[in-house]
Every structure is written in structure tokens, then in C-alpha cells.
């Protein structure tokens, strides 16, 4: 049948059902031409490409209101899917504002998983369940996997249960049942037994009358495929389907939707998806940007409406965003245009010496904005990695600036940081029972509740600290031999660390404690998506200790920091990761850390290749489009890791910004001349490596030797840009076998010389060629 004409229709005279809840079409007022077109195109497949700040939620809710008000369908005949409960509540409130009580008759408005659970409970027997099935949380899921591993005599230490839980979650996100697992996938866990374990896990769930989160869609897909009559029932039920944030859908969600949309020929399906391919940033948790990119192939003849009129940002900010995202190849294409009516400030790009200076400069700029009457609530700092937050938190505490961390706890309140601090507190103060209690079984040491009860009872009866009570119990028979051996090893470790604390620098000791206790290995073996971030936070914690003379001084500083009022300040700067910022907006946005390896993140490039780079670029686009009036980007030329300065390269994203929308506020002292994609030195790779306030003897000598010899271009040796310099024929002041220090590569021994070029065997970086002006005698 031909598609119904795409126009706003009044119900025919005498049509009774269409008059219920009848209202005037006031809800169409204020819509621009593209929004109005998306609302009134009710028949056939429709893709609404909604750019950042273009009013997509308003379009989605107004479209539902139009369908209800025009009598095309009742509330129970509309399937409206969102990704979060918060978004579902907001949508329901907006629709209620437009059509009143009619929204209460919309039982199929919700998240993918809530609607999936509703369908499963109605047909539970057909998939081997009862209607009152339990939905397991992550802890229950891990416990069940451990039981299966024990039954199968699989060593859980070698093959962690959490790792297998992550694998199954990935399979379920891809819509794979146990029979669908390939031999290659099965081979990477428990010596090829992954498929067998997956099947045993699913069978055990049926016995328990339970499902996990992934099953809410996976079992629905199986239900629809194996019972066409049930699927047909939903085809008849749902006259219209609407999906929000379609770019974030995974394979299972895509398959679920495709099955439900098959009630009509693909070219006539009344399915509307709203999304932005340029804001697909959750590939690491299974989202497939290809779902939105191939919508027109899945539904031939689909209409595409682009919402490009931005109601949020100034033209300079939108120009930066559009110019940047245009470098992605996998996109449908659109260009945001401002409706704000002003060009606004240029996008500021600032280069600073290190992350400490970056935090200081941003803090000062925030204070300046505050003096001009701007509220802290209107400002945000969006970081690529959570470890970046620490520098800003410490700076704001020093300045007395209120701040809040969104999407997670403050740096020193994170679980991994509290655990690490507990180890250090117990080394510094053996009577710290709270610290002992926190880490005695972290990582797991096989100490059960009965063992801990004996420890606590002994400490209480003898009025001594827990660590001292443990020493006493090591000489008695109250505890079993295995528990005594475990505690003896732990006590020995603390004695060793306490002895070393007198001679080893405290930041080196901290690293040793985390390694020798097994705490670092615990997170390395953890396969959850947040474990890499936790490891980065631990590295940042150790790095932050270098600024203090003693372990005691550091711990006292932490106590003062954590004593800060944790209540949400009424007016406060927001600090969050870029992933947490999606959907938010602020007058002023700071985006720090625009350096290669940090943004784009090296892990994304290593694991995802070009697709990973494009997702990082989409993340940059999301960050830029959070700003309404002012946008500030910054990069640190150096980051100190384990006591050594490492030079940072400006992010390739900086050279993808439009020159006429950007103002470089500080050329700083970054090494010059990096180019990407065959281009010459970029605009943000700064010209003079000696314009620095960093005053070491080697740096002073390099600057003095540099003098007026300004090379027109960079010198690249073995792929590493080391400095701008030339050999003036004077040779080198160094000799073979001499020990030297390099700011980036650390200590090493000269292996050979060629003019002023040194070949050095560095202790940690291996053999490198460098210029003698950048080393000093070690």
C-alpha cells in the first residue's frame, strides 16, 4: 500500500474516537520549519538527525502529542523507547504538559529494558520462566558464575568471574545465545570452555527463575523469533514506534526494534528514530553508530529530516564543532547553525607548562568570571580521564571555590583511592583500626567473617589495635593454620614497608605497597570497563605524593582536603568527564588536556584504530557543544609521571579547528612542528622551545647555546622530535660512556657521538638519539 500523505489531518466529521482528548494544535506553535516537518511526518519511516542543542526532545514529545491529539493512535498503541529512566520521566512530563491526562494511558513509554521486562513477564512461560522471575544484579551474577566455576573445577584466580561476566554481557549486547558463540570467542576463556559455561549459566538462571540485565532483551529476541504469533500480536498493537538517542543503540536493541518494526513492509513502517551520529560516544559499552548510519538501508524510502538550527551556542562555538566533526568519515553529515544571534567570543586555546599551571590558570579565569557577576553554576570543567580531576579539586580547595563532581565521587573519595590511602595510613600509624578493617581482605585473602570476628574480639578484650591483636593470634591456636599463614604474610608485609619507609622516598614506597599487596594486580585482572580508569587514578595518586616531603605530610594534607564540607554547594563549578556531560549545557566550558595520548586517548586508538579515533573526535564534538557562550581549550606541554617530566604533543584535534573562530592565547613553550596526515607543522605546535620559565641548569644551558640560532623547522630524529637545533661544527662537550640526564627520557649512558647528536642508552627508554643541548651531566 502507498504511504499515507505526510500532512496534518483533521479527523473526518463524525469520527467519535478521534474526539477524545481533543485539543487545539497550540503545541505546534514555536516550532521551526524542520521541527514542524518532523512532527507532522507521521507515516512511514523517519530519521530525525538532531544536532546538539536543536530541540530533539521537544520534537519527540510534540510528535507523540500530535499522534494522540489527531486521533491517529491511542496511548497504548504507541511504543516510545528511551535509554534512561530519567529521560523517560522527562518525556512523560512534557507530553502531559501538552495533552494532559492522555499520557497516563501510555504503558509502553520507557527504557529498552523496562519494556523488555514487561513483555517477558507477559510471556514468561514461552522462554522457560515464570512471570515473577527475579532480575539479578551484578553481585548476584558474579556469585552465580563463581559457583559454576567451582563445579567445573576452573581456577577463579586464573579465570576471574568478573571477566566472564563482562564477556557474557558483550555477547548479549550483540544478541548472541550460547549456540551462536564462535569457536574464536569461546577460546579466550577457560581453555575454550566459554560456550559451555555460558550455556550452563543460562540453564542455571532458568532453574532459579531469574534473568540478568542482558536477558531482558536477549530473551525477548528469542521469544519473537521462536513464536511468530506473539510477535504478530505486538505488530498489531503498536501503530507507531519512536526511539530516542538511536545512535547509542547496541546490536541487541537494534535486532529487538527491527523485529517489532516488521509488521509492515520496511518502506511503510511507522518508525521514527531520533539521534545524532556525531554524538555516538559509547562504543566502549557496546553502542553501534552503524545502526543509525544504515537506517535508510534498513527502511528503504525513509525520510531524513535534519535539525541543524542550534538554540544553545554562539556561532564561533558551532563553527569549531562543525569544522572538527567534518573530519570524521563515518557520518551522515549536517552543519549546525546558530539561532542565538551572536558570534560570541572566539574559542580560546591556551598552552601551559604542566597540569598544575593548567589548574591554576583555569581557577584564576573562573574567579575573574565570578567577579564579573557570573554564577559558578554556569561553568563546567570537562575532562577526558577522571585522574585529571585531582589537580582541579586541590586548586579549588586552595582558592576556596565551591565545586561539585558530577557522575562520580571526588578524587579522594573514590574506592581505589580510599583503599590505597588505608594501606599508607596503616604503615604510618599501625593503630589505625579503620584502615586495617578496610584493607585486611582487599584484595581477597580468604579471610571470612569468623576470622575477622576473632580478630575484633581479641582487640576489644585486650584493648589493643587490630594489627597488634593479629600479632598475638599468630602465636596461638584460635585461628586455622591457613588463616594464620595469610595473616602472618600480611603482618610481615607491613613490617617490611614500615622499615623501608625510613629509607625509601614515600612516593616510591606507595608504588611498592600497591604492587606487593596485590592491589594493583587486582584492578589489572578486573575486566570491568572502569578498571583502566581506576589504575590511572592510582598512578595519579602516587604522582601527587611527590609534591610532599614525607608520607605524614601527605596524609595530613589528605585529611584536610577530605574534611571539606561534602554537601552540594548551592553555587558551584561542575567537574565531570566528557562522557558524563552528554545532554548538559553551561555558559562557560573549560576543556583541559588536549594532548595526544590523553585526548584522543591512546587506549582508544590502540583498541579501535580509525573507529576509535572517530569516536574520540565525536567526544570532542560533544564537549565543545556543551558551551553556550564561552569555550576554553588548554593543553599542558609536560606531564610528570613517576618523577620524570614527559613532553606532551598537542592534540591533532586542535589543528582541525577553524582558524577564524579560534584565538591562541598563549604560545607557551611546547616543542614545535608536529603535523598529521602529511601536513606541515600545525598552528598549535608552538614555535620556540626555549620560551620557558623552567629553570634547570640543562635548560639554561640549552637556551644560552640556542642564542640567535633559530632553525626554520623542527629536527626529527628516529621519529621523535627532540629539539630545534643545528650542529654548528663545534662538536659536543660530552664523551662516550658519560652518564647524563634527559628531561624526557631520564638517566642514561652515552654510547656514541656524531657532532652534537648523542646516541644514549637510557635506563628506561632504551636507545635514543638526542641533541646534546637537551641533556645534562648525570
Known catalytic residue: 338?
no
Helix (H) or strand (E) holding 775: strand 775-777
In the three-class reduction of DSSP (H, G, I as helix; E, B as strand; rest coil), residue 588 is classed as: strand
Q: Give yes or no: 137 in active site.
A: no
* Closest by CA position to 148, among listed 161, 157, 158, 136: 161
The catalytically annotated residue of 43, 57, 185, 603 is 57
- Which residues does 162 contact at the CB level (< 8 Å), separation at least 6? 142, 526, 527, 528
Q: What span, in angstroms and rounded, lies between the C-alpha atoms of 682 and 87?
A: 41
Per the residue annotation, which of 169, 212, 215, 244 is the catalytic one? 244
* CA neighbor of 82 nearest in space, from 356, 273, 210: 273
Which entry of 626, 632, 652, 768 is annotated as an active-site residue? 626
DSSP of 80-137, one letter per residue?
Answer: EEESSHHHHHHHHHHHHHHHGGGGGG-TTEEEHHHHHHHHHHHTGGGGT--TT-EE--
- Angle at CA of residue 46, ends 42 and 47, nearest 5°: 145
Active-site residue flag, 279: yes
Distance of alpha carbon 393 from alpha carbon 413, whole angstroms: 12
CA distance linking residue 346 with residue 245, whole number of Å: 30
Give me the half-sphere count of Cα atoms (radius 13 Å) on the Cβ side of residue 321. 31
Q: Measured in Å, how far apart are the chain's first and last C-alpha atoms?
A: 83
Distance set, CA 436 to CA 219, 332, 429, 491, 670 (Å): 45, 56, 10, 11, 45
C-alpha cell at 717: 630524529
State the catalytic residue, choosing from 54, 141, 279, 451: 279
**Rounded Cα gap, residues 538 and 525, in angstroms:** 15
Alpha carbon 157 to chain centroid distance? 28
Nearest-5° Cα angle at 428, 448 to 506? 115
**Cis ω before 443 (30° cut-off from 0):** yes
Catalytic residue among 36, 54, 56, 425: 56
Rg for the chain, CA atoms, rounded: 30
Neighbours of 702 (CB within 10 A): 22
C-alpha of 113 from chain center: 22
Q: What backbone torsions phi and psi does residue 149 show, to the nearest 5 degrees?
A: -65, -40
CA-to-CA dists, residue 508 to 181, 491, 684, 747, angstroms: 45, 20, 35, 17
* Catalytic residue list contains 626: yes
CA dist., res. 124 & res. 140, Å (int)? 21
CA atoms within 13 A on the CB side of 113: 14
Given the residues 37, 212, 245, 288, select the one marked as catalytic: 245
To the query of whether residue 245 is one of the catalytic residues in this protein, the response is: yes
Q: Helix crossing, 228-237 with 251-260: angle to 10°?
A: 70
User: Alpha helices of 20-55 — where are they, by DSSP H?
Assistant: 33-40
Catalytic residue annotation:
56-57, 244-245, 279, 626
Amino acid at each position: 500500500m502507498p504511504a499515507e500523505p505526510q500532512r496534518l489531518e483533521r479527523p473526518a466529521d463524525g469520527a467519535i474516537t478521534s474526539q477524545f482528548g481533543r485539543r487545539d494544535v497550540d503545541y505546534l506553535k514555536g516550532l521551526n520549519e524542520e521541527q514542524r516537518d518532523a512532527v507532522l511526518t507521521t507515516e512511514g519511516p523517519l530519521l530525525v538527525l538532531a544536532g546538539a542543542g536543536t530541540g530533539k526532545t521537544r520534537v519527540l514529545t510534540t510528535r507523540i502529542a500530535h499522534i494522540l491529539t489527531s486521533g491517529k493512535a491511542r496511548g497504548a498503541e504507541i511504543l516510545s523507547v528511551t535509554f534512561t529512566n530519567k529521560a523517560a520521566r522527562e518525556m512523560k512530563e512534557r507530553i502531559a504538559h501538552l495533552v494532559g491526562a492522555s499520557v497516563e494511558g501510555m504503558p509502553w513509554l520507557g527504557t529498552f529494558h523496562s519494556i523488555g521486562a514487561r513483555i517477558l513477564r507477559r510471556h514468561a512461560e514461552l522462554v522457560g520462566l515464570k512471570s515473577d522471575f527475579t532480575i539479578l544484579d551484578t553481585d548476584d551474577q558474579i556469585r552465580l558464575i563463581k559457583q559454576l566455576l567451582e563445579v567445573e573445577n576452573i581456577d577463579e584466580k586464573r579465570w576471574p568471574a568478573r571477566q566472564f561476566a563482562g564477556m557474557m554481557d558483550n555477547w548479549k549486547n550483540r544478541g548472541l545465545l550460547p549456540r551462536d558463540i564462535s569457536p574464536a570467542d569461546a577460546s579466550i576463556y577457560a581453555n575454550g570452555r566459554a560456550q559451555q559455561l555460558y550455556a550452563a549459566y543460562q540453564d542455571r538462571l532458568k532453574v532459579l527463575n531469574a534473568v540478568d540485565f542482558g536477558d531482558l532483551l536477549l530473551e525477548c529476541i528469542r521469544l519473537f523469533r521462536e513464536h511468530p504469533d506473539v510477535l504478530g500480536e505486538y505488530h498489531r498493537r503498536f501503530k507507531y514506534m519512536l526511539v530516542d538517542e538511536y545512535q547509542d543503540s547496541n546490536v541487541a536493541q537494534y535486532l529487538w526494534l527491527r523485529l517489532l518494526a516488521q509488521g509492515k513492509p520496511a518502506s511503510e513502517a511507522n518508525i521514527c528514530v531520533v539521534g545524532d551520529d556525531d554524538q555516538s560516544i559509547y562504543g566502549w559499552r557496546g553502542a553501534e553508530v552503524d545502526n543509525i548510519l544504515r537506517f535508510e538501508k534498513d527502511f528503504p524510502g525513509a525520510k531524513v529530516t535534519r535539525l541543524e538550527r542550534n538554540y544553545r551556542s554562539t556561532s564561533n562555538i558551532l563553527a569549531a564543532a562543525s569544522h572538527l566533526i567534518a573530519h570524521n568519515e563515518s557520518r551522515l553529515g549536517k552543519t549546525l547553525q546558530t539561532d542565538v544571534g551572536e558570534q560570541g567570543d572566539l574559542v580560546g586555546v591556551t598552552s601551559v607548562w604542566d597540569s598544575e599551571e593548567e589548574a591554576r590558570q583555569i581557577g584564576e579565569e573562573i574567579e575573574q568570571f565570578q567577579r564579573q557577576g557570573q554564577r559558578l553554576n554556569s561553568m563546567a570543567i570537562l575532562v577526558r580521564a577522571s585522574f585529571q580531576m585531582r589537580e582541579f579539586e586541590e586548586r579549588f580547595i586552595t582558592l576556596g571555590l565551591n565545586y561539585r563532581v558530577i557522575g562520580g565521587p571526588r578524587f579522594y573519595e573514590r574506592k581505589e583511592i580510599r583503599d590505597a590511602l588505608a594501606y599508607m595510613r596503616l604503615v604510618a600509624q599501625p593503630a589505625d583500626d579503620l584502615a586495617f578493617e578496610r584493607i585486611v581482605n582487599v584484595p581477597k585473602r580468604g579471610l571470612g567473617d569468623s576470622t575477622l570476628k576473632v580478630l575484633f574480639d581479641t582487640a576489644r578484650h585486650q584493648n589493643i589495635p587490630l594489627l597488634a591483636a593479629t600479632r598475638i593470634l599468630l602465636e596461638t591456636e584460635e585461628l586455622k593454620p591457613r588463616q594464620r599463614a595469610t595473616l602472618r604474610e600480611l603482618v610481615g608485609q607491613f613490617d617490611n614497608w614500615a622499615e623501608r619507609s625510613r629509607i625509601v622516598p614515600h612516593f616510591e614506597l606507595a608504588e611498592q605497597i600497591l604492587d606487593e599487596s596485590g592491589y594493583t594486580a587486582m584492578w589489572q585482572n578486573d575486566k570491568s570497563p572502569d578498571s583502566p580508569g581506576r589504575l590511572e587514578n592510582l598512578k595519579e595518586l602516587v604522582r601527587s605524593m611527590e609534591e610532599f616531603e614525607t608520607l605524614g605530610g601527605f596524609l595530613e594534607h589528605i585529611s584536610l582536603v577530605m574534611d571539606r564540607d561534602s554537601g552540594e554547594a548551592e553555587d558551584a563549578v561542575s567537574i565531570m568527564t566528557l562522557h558524563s556531560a552528554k545532554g548538559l549545557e553551561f555558559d562557560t566550558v573549560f576543556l583541559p588536556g588536549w594532548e595526544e595520548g590523553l585526548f584522543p586517548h591512546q587506549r582508544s586508538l590502540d583498541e579501535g584504530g580509525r573507529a576509535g579515533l572517530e569516536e574520540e573526535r565525536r567526544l570532542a564534538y560533544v564537549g565543545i557543544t556543551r558551551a553556550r557562550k564561552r569555550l576554553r581549550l588548554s593543553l599542558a606541554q609536560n606531564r610528570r609521571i613517576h618523577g620524570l617530566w614527559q613532553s606532551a604533543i598537542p592534540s591533532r584535534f586542535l589543528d582541525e579547528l577553524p582558524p577564524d573562530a579560534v584565538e591562541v592565547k598563549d604560545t607557551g613553550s611546547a616543542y614545535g612542528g608536529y603535523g598529521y596526515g602529511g601536513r606541515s607543522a600545525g598552528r598549535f605546535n608552538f614555535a620556540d622551545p626555549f620560551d620557558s620559565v623552567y629553570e634547570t641548569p640543562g635548560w639554561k644551558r640549552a637556551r644560552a647555546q640556542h642564542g640567535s640560532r633559530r632553525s626554520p623547522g623542527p629536527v626529527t630524529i628516529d621519529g621523535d622530535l627532540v629539539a630545534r637545533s643545528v650542529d654548528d661544527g663545534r662538536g659536543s662537550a660530552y664523551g662516550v660512556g658519560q652518564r647524563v640526564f634527559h628531561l624526557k627520557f631520564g638517566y642514561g649512558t652515552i654510547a656514541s657521538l656524531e657532532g652534537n647528536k648523542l646516541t644514549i642508552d637510557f635506563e628506561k627508554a632504551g636507545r635514543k638519539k638526542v641533541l646534546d643541548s637537551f641533556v645534562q651531566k648525570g
